[in-house]
């Protein structure tokens, strides 16, 4: 009889305070997703995954738990981020960037936040080099890249790093404007940029993803998976003969993998690992990374203006982060606020697309460099 009671009350008897806190954390994420619409496609599954994995004796996790199996199959093998990249590639239009390749430089400059945040994380003394690199990559403003690097370097912090990356991406319209305003004058924000519509031949659109994959893959072979999958998705889109596959990648594939990715990430948020001072630090440093990214892009544009005859609007630099299309829209909105007739959306979107390439390259280089530097020590 006693055994029967123990069996019936096993869940309640094994419930610990930190699991209750995690229910609240999961609930908060679901609230943010539904009430505030902060990246609902990810935060809602993450929140629910966090609740599921913290139920005492939960059958969703553990050796035969479906969330553990999803983790082994989708995250450990890097399959989910790669599939997301194929979907993302099919959604991205690289034409504005091909028309204006100069914007690629802003896509590089806005990655500054990754490296400054990594140094900041190291200086706290709480994290080793690999963990600091995984935290810094939140600044890539690119969820799949963050997951890819975190899985490799800081599996313990996969949950907080993913939550930080996706949360701050949705907060770009709140984070970026004050930083941009602080670093630019009213006069600079009113700078107009000429836009010339360059016709991009179809053949260039098709060759672009292949050439980019070859360059990135040969220079940093570790980038082949990320850049290659992104560019494969884009090749499907621009080829003109795979409309059905392109639609499937943009819709069914993206939706299905996002759903599984979210709940699987949530399942890594076990109370023991998540409720730690380091989690709070990671959330804080994620914000720092986005601020440094924005500042890096704006300051780089200001630096370029010292040498350029035709000045660029320095706000364009802030759009060099990977959060597409929010960042480009934020920049256009700010430009229109100071001068309603100033239209820099096309340039901002080009920089934003460049940021998507920059973030993947940065993530790949970090994956290659950190082990190499550690081996050389």
Partner 1 sequence: MDMQLIGTGLAVSAFGLGGVFAVLILFFCATRIMLALSGKSAKKGE
Q: Among 102, 126, 195, 343, which residue sits at the site for partner 1 (rule: CB under 8 A)?
A: 102
Q: Which of 259, 270, 260, 211 is nearest to 235 (CA)?
A: 211
Q: With beta carbons less than 8 A apart as the criterion, state whether 300 and 308 touch.
A: no
Give the closest residue to 151 by CA, choosing from 181, 131, 136: 131
Which one of 32, 42, 46, 104 is in contact with partner 1 (CB under 8 A)? Answer: 104
Q: Does residue number 303 form part of the binding site for partner 1 (CB under 8 A)?
A: no
Nearest to 160 by CA among 173, 147, 169, 170: 147
The footprint of partner 1 on residues 122-161 (CB under 8 A) is 122-123, 125, 128-129, 132-133
List binders of partner 1 among 160-219 (CB under 8 A).
Answer: 198, 200-201, 203-204, 207-208, 211-212, 215-216, 219
Question: Least distance to partner 1 from the beta carbon of 306, Å?
Answer: 18
Judged by CB under 8 A, the number of residues near partner 1 is 47
How many Cβ atoms sit within 10 Å of the Cβ of residue 317?
Answer: 34
Residue 273 as a binder of partner 1 (CB under 8 A): the answer is no
Would you say 283 and 28 are in contact if contact means Cβ atoms under 8 Å apart? no
Does 349 sit near partner 1 (CB under 8 A)? no
What count of other Cβ atoms lies within 10 Å of the Cβ of residue 66? 14
d(CA 149, CA 138): 10
Shortest Å distance, C-beta 162 to partner 1? 21
Q: Where does this chain touch partner 1 (CB under 8 A) — which range of 2-10, 116-124, 272-280, 324-332?
A: 116-124
Applying CB under 8 A, which of residues 19, 54, 111, 229 lies at the interface with partner 1?
111
When asked if residue 291 is in the footprint of partner 1 (CB under 8 A), the reply is: no
Angle, helix 172-183 to helix 326-338, in steps of 10 degrees: 50
Could you write out the DSSP letters of every residue in 165-179?
A: HHHHHHTHHHHHHHH
| Residue 314 and residue 349 in contact, taking contact as beta carbons nearer than 8 Å | no
Does position 375 interact with partner 1 (CB under 8 A)? The reply is: no
Contact residues for partner 1, defined by CB under 8 A: 97-98, 101-102, 104-105, 107-108, 111-112, 114-116, 118-119, 122-123, 125, 128-129, 132-133, 198, 200-201, 203-204, 207-208, 211-212, 215-216, 219-220, 354, 357-358, 361-362, 365-366, 369-370, 373-374, 377
């Amino acid at each position: 009889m006693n055994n029967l009671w123990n069996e019936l009350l096993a869940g309640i008897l094994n419930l610990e305070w930190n699991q209750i806190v995690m229910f609240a954390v999961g609930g908060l994420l679901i609230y943010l997703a539904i009430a505030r619409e902060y990246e609902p496609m990810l935060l809602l599954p993450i929140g629910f995954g966090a609740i599921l994995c913290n139920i005492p004796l939960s059958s969703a996790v553990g050796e035969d738990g479906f969330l553990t199996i999803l983790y082994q199959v989708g995250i450990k093998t890097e399959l989910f981020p790669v599939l997301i990249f194929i979907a993302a590639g099919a959604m991205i239009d690289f034409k504005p960037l091909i028309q204006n390749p100069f914007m690629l430089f802003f896509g590089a400059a806005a990655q500054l936040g990754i490296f400054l945040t990594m140094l900041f994380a190291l200086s706290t003394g709480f994290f080793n080099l690999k963990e600091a690199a995984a935290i810094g990559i939140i600044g890539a403003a690119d969820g799949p890249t963050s997951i890819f690097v975190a899985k490799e370097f800081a599996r313990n912090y996969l949950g907080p790093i993913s939550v930080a990356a996706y949360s701050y991406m949705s907060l770009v319209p709140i984070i970026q404007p004050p930083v941009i305003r602080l670093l630019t004058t009213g006069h600079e924000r009113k700078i107009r940029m000429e836009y010339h519509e360059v016709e991009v031949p179809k053949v260039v659109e098709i060759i672009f993803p292949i050439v980019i994959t070859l360059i990135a893959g040969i220079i940093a072979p570790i980038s082949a998976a990320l850049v290659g999958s992104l560019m494969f998705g884009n090749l499907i889109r621009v080829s003109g003969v795979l409309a059905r596959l392109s639609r499937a990648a943009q819709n069914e594939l993206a939706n299905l993998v996002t759903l599984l990715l979210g709940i699987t990430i949530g399942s890594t948020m076990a109370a023991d690992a998540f409720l730690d001072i380091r989690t709070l630090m990671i959330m804080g440093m994620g914000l720092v990374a986005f601020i440094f990214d924005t500042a890096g892009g704006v300051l780089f544009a200001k630096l370029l203006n010292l040498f350029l005859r035709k000045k660029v609007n320095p706000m364009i630099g802030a759009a060099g982060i990977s959060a597409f299309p929010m960042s480009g829209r934020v920049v256009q909105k700010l430009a229109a606020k100071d001068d309603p007739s100033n239209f820099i959306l096309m340039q901002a979107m080009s920089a934003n697309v460049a940021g998507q390439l920059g973030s993947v390259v940065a993530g790949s280089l970090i994956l290659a460099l950190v082990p190499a530097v550690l081996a050389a020590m």
